[in-house]
Amino acid sequence: MQWLREHMRNHIGEAAIEPTEKVLNFQRTPAAPAKHKDTEAVDLVYQAADVVRGVQDRAAQIEARAEDLVRRAIEKLQIAENRIRTAEVEQRAAEAGLNEAGARIQTTEKALQRAQSRIAAIEAQLSAAELRTRAAEARAAEAERALQRIEHAIRTQILDSGCAAARKSAAA
């Protein structure tokens, strides 16, 4: 019996029991009435069983708490993974939008370059037309001056000579 007491004392001393838990004292109290040795052994076995059950209950509580923590951590991890997937989908959509916008910008830039080329060509044609217009106006002005000179010459040479001849004939 003594060896059982020693064994239980050593076992209880090694067990990690929090100070807030109830701890049973296996030592005999001096004021306790003498019991029969068999009864004493049975009491010790019951007490040991109670201690073992307490340790097992505590271990079960710790295990349940650990399982709950693991379950919550897994749920948070799944939520985080879902957020990551959602963010990746949104990122891909944004990248596709940027690519599309870039393509539209390139198309617009090409159209702008073509328009600028056409504008430059039209401006060159306009300049050439203006030069031709000025040259035509200059030729027209020169032709008008030439016509005026011819008209003046006709008036002075032909008409004035005809009038002078008529005056001479009338005077003769």
Read off φ and ψ for residue 23, nearest 5 degrees. Answer: -115, 130
Tell me: pLDDT of 22 over 60. no
Is residue 98 within 8 A of residue 61, CB to CB? The reply is no
Q: Where are the domains positioned within the chain?
A: 2-125+138-171
Angstrom distances, CA of residue 73 to CA of 29, 52, 67, 85:
49, 31, 10, 18
Task: Give the model's pLDDT for residue 52.
Answer: 95
Alpha carbon 56 to its chain's center = 53
14 or 111, higher pLDDT: 111
Q: What is the mean pLDDT of residues 24-35?
A: 51
Is residue 11 within 8 A of residue 50, CB to CB? The reply is no
Residue 84, classified by CB atoms within 10 Å of its CB into exposed (0-12), middle (13-18) or buried (19+), is exposed
Alpha carbon 7 to its chain's center = 67
User: Quick check: pTM over 0.85?
Assistant: no
How many Å apart are CA 8 and CA 154, to the nearest integer? 155
Q: Token pair of 165, please?
A: 């001849």
Q: How confident is the model at residue 16 (pLDDT cuts 50, 70, 90)?
A: very low
Tell me: pLDDT of 80 over 70. yes
> How many Cβ atoms are within 10 Å of 51's Cβ, its own excluded?
19
pLDDT tens string 116-148: 999 999 999 999 999 999 999 999 999 999 999
